Structure formats: C-alpha cells, structure tokens
Amino acid sequence: MSTQTGYGYDARFKTIQKFTNLAIPQPGPDELVLKIEAAGLCLSDPHTLIGGPIASKPPLQTSTKFVMGHEIAGSVHQVGSQLMGDPAYATGARFALQINHACGVCNMCRAGLDGSCQGSYQAYGLNEDGGFQQFLLIKNLRTLLPIPAGVSFEEAAVCTDSVLTPFHAIQKVRHKLQPTTKVLVQGCGGLGLNGIQILRNYGCTIVATDVKDGVDKIALDYGASEFHHDLSKSAHASQSFDVIFDFVGVQATVNNSDKYIKRRGTLLMVGLGKYKLVLPNYTFAYREIEVIYNFAGNSSEQIECMEWIAKGLIKPNVQIVDFHKLPQALDDLVNNKVRGRVVFRPNKL
C-alpha cells in the first residue's frame, strides 16, 4: 500500500472532506511514522469545520487543508535512521499523542504546564495533519506518550481529550472535594460522563443533568447520585451546590449555574458549546463566585489519566464506528445523537 485515505478540513468547504490517494509519509532521521490504531471524534471537529483551524504561530502559515482527528493512539510503524535500534521506538511500541506540540522550553513548559505552551500553536487535527488517516508522521517526539499495559488503543485515544479535559479541570478543585461537597455536573456527553467517573473517586455527592434521553442510566452507573433532565423539577434548592462543572458551555447552562451555585461556590467552565456567553457579573460579584475556565490539560496529567484507566478507576464510554462512516458519525454528533465517545479504527478497513 503506497497511499491512504483520510478525512479532514479544506478551507473551500464547511463540511468534512474525504481525501483519497494521500501519500504515506516517510520519516526523516529523527522522525517516525505512527500507524493509527484509534482516533476519536470530538465536538471540536465540527467547530473547526465551521470556524476554521487554530491559527499557526508566525512565521508558520496556517494550513488551508489538512487531515483532522486530534484524539490519537497508535503503534510505531517506521522510524528514521537516528531512531533505529532505540528500544523506546521499537516497531509496534504503543503511544497516545499529546494534542498540542509543546516546545518544552517556554516558561509554561518549564513549569510543567505544557498544555498551555507559549512557544507553539500547532495541534494534531486542529491545524495540521491528525488521526483520521491510517499513518501519521510524527516530527515532535515529545508528543508521544507511552500507553500502559491494560489500556486499549481506543481508551488511550479518547484519554487525550475526553478524559484529560475533565481531569485537568477537576484537579484545580480537588482540595474542595469532600464527602459533604455537593457537585453539579451539567452535560453527560463524552466529557461529562468521564468527569463523573473521575469525581466519584473523591467521595463527593454528584448530581448530573442533561437534556438528552438515554444517558441517565450511564450517569448513575458511573457514579452520579442523581440524574435530572430538568433540575428545576427536582428537590434541589437554589444556591445549594458547592461546585458546578459546566461541560456544555451554552447560555442555558450558565443561567442554571447562576441559579444553583452557593455563595462563594466554584463554577468550572469546560464545555465550548458557544463562542460567547453572558455571565451575571453583579450577582457573581456580590456572592463572590469563583469562575475557572479550563482547556485541555498537561502531558503529565494525560499520563496519569491512562494510569487511572489501567487501574480501572475510569472506563471511557467508547463507541467504535466504521471509519468509512465518519461523515455520518460527525453529523450524528452535531445533531445530538451520539452517546459517549465515537472512535474510529482507520486501519480496520
């Protein structure tokens, strides 16, 4: 096989494009080619199609055409001459990818916060080639994170975002999570369901909400004490939650948070449902509400997330879909028909 198939972004269109006859890359001396074993689908994918890719940092030009897919796990297929014989990159070695290409030398990276790297704005599947193809050239070896034994490629792929993002947010408030802490989780999609699983390990009381049908049982199985489609019809009083996680990020969930957050409570914004939201400045001010925004996470947290999965503390809700059905799966995601996280196996054609 000398060519491959992929799906991705083309600036001329607002829908996912199928690319045929893509060249299988050849690695340079200090590069390798990863065989994609699993690639996850995320709401950031339709957002990229609509709003365009993340702008590359000059002098690098933002690509106008690239293969998408930023939740990636795979095995070493071929290495460059300088990596031959290195056991860390032996053929078949299993890796998940850190989405962003952290530089390793900026102040953020040196502080261990490489998820907030200041030196590079490059990211797999968001402004350069990603995992919706069979083989991917890895130029930045720092992005390769070893997959522990007992963790599947599918679990490792969704861990890069769907698990990492809520994990990163929860770590910021873990000191506040006690058995008496009352936590509201808004949104039980890929992020929210994994967030519930992570939160249950801290012993807090978890109340989950979502407007979708068919997620209540999963949320309860994963550790929620209660599930409600409409919190206003429950027995929960206004201003009764210590911590609220918004895994949706639309005006309705912000309004819910305003209603149900306690004085001096903490609201963590995670979901990116809307580009702009209106926060109640005055009421949040006099009630001294702490609002924390979150985005992705750090490589050390991603490695820890995979260890949690290996120990059975998190079990990502993965739905494997035929790679050829990727456009339909994307459409289903946009139309709120997906439960859990969709994962493709590009090499299982």
How do residues 100-115 score in pLDDT, each as one tens digit?
A: 999 999 999 999 999 9
Residue 239 contacts residue 264 (beta carbons within 8 Å): no
The CA distance from 324 to 348, in Å, is: 10
Report the pLDDT value the prediction gives residue 94, as an integer from 0 to 100. 98
Report the pLDDT value the prediction gives residue 16, as an integer from 0 to 100. 97
Q: Which range has the top average pLDDT, 117-121, 143-147, 345-349?
A: 143-147
Closest CA to 302 of 107, 67, 73: 73
The domain limits of the chain are: 3-161+297-344, 173-293
- Give the model confidence (pLDDT) of 76-93 as tens digits: 999 999 999 999 999 999
Report the pLDDT value the prediction gives residue 311, as an integer from 0 to 100. 97
| Cβ neighbour number for residue 213 with a 10 Å cutoff | 9
Domain 173-293 sits in CATH 3.40.1170.20: no
Report the pLDDT value the prediction gives residue 349, as an integer from 0 to 100. 67
Report the pLDDT value the prediction gives residue 61, as an integer from 0 to 100. 93
In this predicted structure, the answer to whether residue 318 has a pLDDT above a threshold of 80 is yes
Q: pLDDT band for position 306 (50/70/90)?
A: very high
Q: Which helix (H) or strand (E) holds 320?
A: strand 318-321
Residue 204 contacts residue 225 (beta carbons within 8 Å): no
Residues 6+ apart with CB under 8 A from 113: 298
| Cβ neighbour number for residue 298 with a 10 Å cutoff | 24
In this predicted structure, the answer to whether residue 288 has a pLDDT above a threshold of 80 is yes
The CA distance from 243 to 195, in Å, is: 13
- Give the model confidence (pLDDT) of 207-224 as tens digits: 999 999 889 999 999 999
Q: What is the CATH number of domain 3-161+297-344?
A: 3.90.180.10
Q: What stretches of 166-246 adopt beta strand conformation (E)? A: 182-186, 205-209, 226-228, 241-246
The CA distance from 124 to 68, in Å, is: 7
- Give the model confidence (pLDDT) of 147-159 as tens digits: 999 999 999 999 9
Strands 71-79 and 94-97 come out as: antiparallel
- DSSP 8-state symbol, 53: P
Q: What is the mean pLDDT of residues 13-32?
A: 96
The CA distance from 267 to 288, in Å, is: 11
User: Is the pTM value of this prediction over 0.85?
Assistant: yes
The amino acid occupying position 184 is L
Q: pLDDT band for position 348 (50/70/90)?
A: confident
Give SS3 for 246: strand
Report the pLDDT value the prediction gives residue 98, as an integer from 0 to 100. 98
Residue 343 contacts residue 324 (beta carbons within 8 Å): no
Residue 92 contacts residue 30 (beta carbons within 8 Å): no
CA angle 96, 185, 264 (to 5 degrees): 115
The CA distance from 111 to 108, in Å, is: 5
Q: What is the mean pLDDT of residues 33-55?
A: 95
In this predicted structure, the answer to whether residue 29 has a pLDDT above a threshold of 80 is yes
Report the pLDDT value the prediction gives residue 1, as an integer from 0 to 100. 62
- Give the model confidence (pLDDT) of 143-195 as tens digits: 999 999 999 999 999 999 999 999 999 999 999 999 999 999 999 999 999 99
